[in-house]
């Protein structure tokens, strides 16, 4: 009884792995200089504001254009960037920040204490409706600017001393706070940004190693073109004249362009069609390094039959146990992924947590059917089909079909993928809460800590908690972790918080990512960083 559905699934997945999908063309842009290095990309969801971007397409542009108080080395070690010093008080409830001298924005404005304070206040204030507002929730006075009835626009925990010094008071001690400050939501903004925020988002001005290359640098749905910032004050200066993110509607088309020389780098993923051959196609210019990212799918709290009561917990566990992750990784990713055992990533400090209850992430078809029937005894399942929404331009169709096929065969219910044409369209449906199904929700760490996965995705009101999960016990464990004196002391609380997630399963972890990528062999000094992305500033190209 066990072997038959597994064989059927294997046959289906093998067919999917060999499927040649229809490719879509990327619009031409012939004004990208030949010495610029081009990367696979897509249209950002929103205008490019540091506090209103929580997705990878816009995020990678902002990482290239802004430098915060803290930076991260390619292997994820934090270091002071714009900050000369970030000095905590005795219990890490307050930090005294001193800025280095000589930093400017690309319009000539100096980077000052106000550049950070004004940007953070803007991002936190609920009237501005920024997706990254939750990142500022640890700062004293956040509730005064972010509450439903908030009228304040400045957090009391931010105090300017002079142009190069300011203090940050937190509502509770948090020794890890400085580590978070390398995430681009904490970047400074020039004063001109607040004159017309909408216009600024179309043509942002930063202080990072790259800057917009002219008034038409962003041609929507075509590309974003950045040139090296000649006045950049950081140590990681661009070693190339510029970079461009070319926007593709299909990852297979991007890979074809890579083969023909019309694209230089596939960034984090060559796509499912190229997985069998990319090492052969690019024998001396490929990588498959693991990085701090995980592939999940979210089951929203309002999805009928899946609320996190007894019925919902049974169904979520049944769905998870009905997925043969090992088989999908073998057939579709050719072994290039690792089955998830927690909600984080193995490259983080401490590796994979040994979380109680993690057996729910293993393939147990008999147990899955048993739990599904128990849920039906509480309330018969009324859904016509269990669907997982995904963006068709990201190479996700095959694995979504593999996952839903596994669910369908084990549980005997209808299950299928639900395609959105673009990443932007899917994100809009998710953010607007109109998706009406489970949905793909992979996560790249914003800063090198397990808290980046847990806080953003699962804490009540978290900036990327798109399934609207809420559990007071989980929130309390996160608060205790934040108040711990160091990462070692915090780990027990994070493990406890993950144990709560294993019971509730607001998202279904599938596998950890690896940067299965390739690049033009004319590129040099190519390195994949801890977030699975190229170190843009280090790359050079023959002929420059």
Q: What is the 3-state secondary structure (H, E, C) of 371-425?
A: HHHHHHHHCCCCCCCEEEEEEHHHCCHHHHHHHHHHHHHHHCCCEEEEEECCHHH
On the 0-12 / 13-18 / 19+ scale of CB atoms within 10 A, 255 is: buried
Nearest Cα neighbor of 543 from 525, 527, 526, 522 is 522
Q: Is 23's pLDDT higher than 80?
A: no
**pLDDT at residue number 206:** 98
- Tell me whether residue 299 is in a domain: yes
In this predicted structure, what is the pLDDT of residue 395?
Answer: 85
| Domain endpoint, select from 147, 181, 208 | 208
What per-residue confidence (pLDDT) applies to 463?
A: 82
User: Following DSSP, what letter does each residue of 183-210 receive, concatenated?
Assistant: SGGG----GGGGT-HHHHHHS---SSSE
**289 close to 513: Cβ distance less than 8 angstroms:** no
Picking from 436, 406, 396, the residue whose alpha carbon sits closest to that of residue 323 is 406
Contacts of 377 (CB under 8 A, 6+ apart): none
Q: Quick one: tokens of 359? A: 């057996």
156 and 61 in a common domain: yes
Which pLDDT band holds residue 148 (cuts at 50, 70, 90)?
Answer: confident
Contact 37, 262 (CB under 8 A): no
Indicate if 318 and 174 belong to the same structural domain: no
**How much of the chain, in percent, has pLDDT values that exceed 90?**
83
Residue 154 and residue 62 in one domain: yes
Check pLDDT > 50 for residue 366: yes
pLDDT of residue 487: 81
State residue 28's pLDDT score.
63
Tokens found for residue 61: 């542009």
Average pLDDT of the chain, as a whole number: 92
On the question of pLDDT at 93 being above 90, the answer is: yes
For the segment 378-389, the average pLDDT, to the nearest whole number, is 93
Write the CATH number for 140.
3.90.76.10
pLDDT tens-place string over residues 237-259: 999 999 999 999 889 999 999 99
Distances (CA, A) of 309 to 435, 438, 482: 22, 17, 28
Instruction: Compute, in degrees rounded to 10, the torsion defined by CA atoms 344, 347, 73, 70.
Output: 20
Within-domain flag for 14: no
Please indicate, yes or no, if residue 242 is contained in any of the structural domains: no
Mind listing the pLDDT tens digit for each residue in 28-55? 666 899 999 999 999 999 999 999 999 9
Residues 196 and 318 in one domain: no
Strands of 100-231, DSSP E: 158-162, 165-169, 210-212, 218-219, 223-228
Can you give the CATH number for the domain in which 440 is found?
3.10.105.10
pLDDT at residue 83 is higher than 50: yes
- Alpha carbon 4 to its chain centroid, in Å, reads 37
For residue 24, pLDDT over 80 is answered with: no
How high is the pLDDT of residue 383?
Answer: 83
Q: What is the pLDDT of residue 6?
A: 37
Q: Which are the contacts of 353, defined by CB distance < 8 A and separation ≥ 6?
A: 341, 342, 344, 450, 491, 494, 495, 498
Q: Using alpha carbons only, give the angle 529, 533, 539 rounded to the nearest 5 degrees.
A: 80
Using CA atoms, how far apart are residues 305 and 376, in angstroms rounded to an integer? 9
Query: Which among 290, 257, 246 has a CA at the least distance from the CA of 531?
Result: 290
Q: Which of 208, 228, 248 represents a domain boundary (last residue)?
A: 208
Is 60 exceeded by the pLDDT of residue 19?
no
Number of other residues whose CB lies within 10 A of the CB of residue 335 = 12
Q: Give the chain's domain count.
A: 2
Domain span at residue 414 reads 292-515
Cβ contact 247:221 at 8 Å: yes
297 closest CA partner among 363, 389, 375: 389
* pLDDT tens digits for range 161-211: 999 999 999 999 998 899 999 999 999 999 999 999 999 999 999 999 999
pLDDT value at 422 more than 60 = yes
Higher pLDDT, 37 or 13: 37
The helix/strand/coil state of 94 is strand
Q: Is residue 238 part of a domain?
A: no
Predicted local confidence at residue 39, as pLDDT:
98
Looking at residue 220, its pLDDT comes to 96
Asked if the model's pLDDT at residue 535 lies above 50, the reply is yes
Query: Which pLDDT value is given to residue 179?
Result: 94
Give the Cα separation of 461 and 441 in Å (integer). Answer: 17
Least confident of 29-33, 301-305, 343-347, 412-416: 29-33
434 CB-near residues (< 8 Å, 6+ apart): none
Question: In terms of domains, do 197 and 308 share one?
Answer: no
Nearest Cα to 142, choosing from 122, 115, 164, 112?
Answer: 122
pLDDT at residue 1 above 50?
no
Q: Is residue 274 part of a domain?
A: no
In a domain, 244, yes or no: no
Confidence of residue 14 (pLDDT cuts 50, 70, 90): very low
Does 310 fall in a domain?
yes
Mean pLDDT of 356-384: 96
| DSSP character at residue 100 | P
Q: Exposure pattern of 473-486 as b/e (b: 16+ CB <10 Å)? A: ebbebbbbbbbbee
Q: Which of 184, 208, 232 is the last residue of a domain?
A: 208
In a domain, 527, yes or no: no
202 and 298 share a domain?
no
């Amino acid at each position: 009884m066990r072997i038959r559905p597994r064989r059927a699934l294997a046959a289906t997945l093998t067919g999917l792995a060999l499927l040649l999908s229809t490719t879509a063309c990327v619009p031409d842009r012939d004004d990208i200089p030949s010495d610029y290095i081009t990367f696979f990309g897509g249209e950002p969801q929103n205008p490019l504001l540091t506090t209103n971007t929580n997705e990878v397409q816009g995020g990678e542009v902002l990482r290239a254009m802004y430098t915060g108080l803290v930076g991260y080395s390619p292997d994820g070690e934090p270091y002071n960037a714009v900050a000369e010093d970030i000095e905590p008080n005795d219990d890490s409830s307050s930090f005294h920040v001193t800025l280095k001298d000589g930093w400017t924005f690309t319009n000539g404005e100096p980077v000052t204490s106000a550049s950070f304070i004004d940007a953070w206040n803007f991002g936190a204030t609920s009237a501005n409706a920024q997706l990254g507002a939750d990142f500022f929730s640890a700062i004293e006075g956040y509730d005064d600017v972010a509450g439903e009835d908030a009228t304040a626009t400045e957090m009391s925990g931010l105090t300017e001393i002079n142009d190069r010094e300011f203090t940050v008071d937190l509502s509770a001690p948090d020794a890890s706070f400085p580590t978070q400050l390398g995430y681009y939501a904490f970047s400074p903004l020039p004063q001109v940004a607040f004159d017309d925020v909408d216009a600024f988002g179309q043509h942002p001005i930063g202080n990072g190693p790259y800057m917009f290359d002219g008034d038409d640098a962003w041609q929507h749905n075509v590309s974003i073109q950045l040139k090296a910032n000649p006045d950049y004050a950081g140590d990681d200066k661009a070693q190339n004249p510029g970079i461009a993110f070319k926007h593709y509607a299909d990852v297979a088309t991007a890979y074809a362009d890579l083969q023909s020389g019309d694209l230089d780098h596939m960034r984090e993923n060559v796509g499912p069609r190229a997985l069998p051959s990319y090492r052969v196609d690019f024998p001396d210019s490929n990588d498959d390094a693991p990085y701090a990212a995980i592939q999940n799918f979210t089951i929203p709290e309002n999805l009928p039959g899946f609320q996190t009561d007894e019925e919902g917990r049974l169904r979520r566990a049944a769905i998870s146990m009905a997925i043969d992750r090992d088989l999908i990784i073998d057939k579709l990713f050719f072994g290039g992924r690792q089955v998830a055992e927690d909600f984080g990533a193995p490259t983080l400090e401490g590796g994979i947590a040994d979380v109680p209850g993690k057996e729910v992430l293993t393939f147990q078809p008999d147990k899955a059917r048993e739990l599904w029937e128990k849920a039906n005894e509480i309330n018969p399942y009324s859904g016509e089909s269990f669907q997982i929404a995904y963006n068709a331009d990201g190479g996700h169709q095959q694995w979504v079909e593999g996952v839903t096929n596994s669910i369908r065969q084990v549980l005997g219910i209808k299950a299928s993928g639900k395609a959105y044409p673009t990443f932007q369209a899917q994100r809009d449906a998710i953010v607007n809460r109109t998706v009406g199904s489970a949905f793909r929700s992979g996560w790249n760490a914003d800063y090198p800590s397990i808290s980046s996965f847990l806080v953003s995705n699962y804490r009540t009101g978290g900036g990327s908690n798109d399934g609207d999960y809420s559990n007071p016990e989980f929130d309390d464990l996160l608060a205790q972790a934040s108040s711990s004196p160091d990462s070692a002391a915090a780990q027990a609380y994070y493990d406890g918080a993950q144990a709560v997630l294993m019971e509730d399963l607001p998202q279904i972890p599938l596998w950890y990512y690896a940067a299965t990528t390739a690049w033009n062999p004319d590129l040099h000094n190519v390195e994949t960083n801890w977030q699975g992305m190229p170190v843009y500033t280090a790359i050079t190209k023959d002929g420059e």
